[in-house]
């Protein structure tokens, strides 16, 4: 399999992440073939977020397809000494919420897609507050990215990671070993939304449509009926970011 070339920091990250995914649980990958291979162009990966270990599994999933993930990640992570070197060295994209730099994050994401890269976004902005771990109402930055290029928008779901590490209970439970799945669905059809004026109403419709597809894919994996509405958490401010 042809692979997208990376450097020292990518190699170091892979050397760390692969063993971690095997230690934390019994993983299963599904739909890996839907990620464009090296040289096959861009993709916007839209994922649910149920645990802080999700990015480890997302990164390995995409890497197994021969690609490098470019996460849109909280800018605060760039303040952690070693982590900031890894983030910079692997070409990750900082997200500055509630600041003048917020739109620059989206522009950087769009540019990465135009350069043929695989960009990963967790539109909820943090791990879901939904008590049953369904996707919650998401930020509209994902819609801006999805509409800015013709790159395929791929829904990806994680399930089982929340059983290994639940941030809200502060419990890490790798044993007994859990089943963890990362599953990629078919590209989301956005043809009905293209060539329309991009305003707040359209961005909300596209965001809810995309996350509805993510929720439906998660429902298939869980074998359950999803809720009719997205869980809404109280926000400190009314603004939305990536």
Q: What is the pLDDT of residue 98?
A: 61
Mean pLDDT of 99-111: 78
* Encoded tokens for 64: 């197994």
Q: What is the pLDDT of residue 240?
A: 39
Cβ burial of 125 (10 Å; 0-12, 13-18, 19+) is buried
Domain of residue 136: give its range: 28-67+107-222
Q: What is the pLDDT of residue 103?
A: 74
Q: CA–CA distance from 190 to each of 34, 187, 197 (Å)? A: 17, 9, 14
pLDDT at residue 96 tops 90 = no
Confirm whether 63 is domain-assigned: yes
Q: How far, in Å, CA of 89 to CA of 94, rounded?
A: 13
Confirm whether 195 is domain-assigned: yes
Instruction: Count CB neighbours of 156 within 10 A.
Output: 26
Confirm whether 145 is domain-assigned: yes
Confirm whether 96 is domain-assigned: no
- Centroid of chain to Cα 242: 12
Confirm whether 77 is domain-assigned: no
Window from 10-24, 72-86, 198-212, 216-230 with minimum mean pLDDT: 72-86
What's the structural domain count of the chain?
1
Mean pLDDT of 125-132: 94
Q: Is the pTM of this model over 0.85?
A: yes
Confirm whether 13 is domain-assigned: no
Confirm whether 235 is domain-assigned: no
Q: What is the pLDDT of residue 102?
A: 62
Q: What is the pLDDT of residue 15?
A: 95
Confirm whether 172 is domain-assigned: yes
Instruction: Count CB neighbours of 191 within 10 A.
Output: 6
pLDDT at residue 149 tops 60 = yes
Mean pLDDT of 187-195: 96
Using alpha carbons only, what angle is made at residue 16 by residues 7 and 28, rounded to the nearest 5 degrees?
110
Mean pLDDT of 176-205: 96
Q: What is the pLDDT of residue 101?
A: 60
């Amino acid at each position: 399999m042809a692979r997208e070339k990376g450097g020292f920091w990518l190699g170091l990250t892979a050397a760390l992440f692969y063993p971690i995914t095997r230690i934390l649980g019994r993983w299963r990958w599904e739909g890996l073939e839907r990620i464009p291979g090296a040289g096959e162009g861009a993709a916007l990966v839209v994922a649910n977020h149920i645990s802080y270990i999700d990015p480890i599994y997302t990164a390995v999933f995409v890497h197994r397809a021969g690609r490098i993930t470019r996460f849109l990640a909280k800018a605060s992570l760039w303040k952690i000494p070693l982590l900031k070197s890894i983030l910079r060295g692997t070409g990750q994209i900082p997200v500055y919420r509630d600041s003048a730099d917020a739109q620059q994050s989206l522009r950087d994401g769009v540019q990465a897609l135009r350069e043929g890269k695989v960009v990963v976004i967790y539109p909820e902005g943090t791990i879901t507050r939904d008590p049953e771990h369904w996707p919650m109402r998401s930020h509209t930055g994902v819609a801006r990215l999805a509409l800015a290029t013709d790159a395929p928008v791929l829904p990806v779901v994680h399930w089982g990671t929340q059983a290994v590490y639940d941030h809200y209970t502060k419990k890490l439970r790798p044993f007994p070993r859990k089943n963890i799945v990362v599953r990629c669905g078919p590209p989301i059809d956005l043809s009905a939304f293209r060539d329309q004026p991009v305003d707040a109403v359209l961005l909300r419709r596209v965001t809810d449509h995309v996350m509805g597809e993510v929720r439906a894919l998660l429902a298939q994996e869980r074998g359950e009926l999803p809720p009719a509405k997205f869980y809404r958490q109280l926000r400190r401010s009314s603004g939305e970011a990536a």
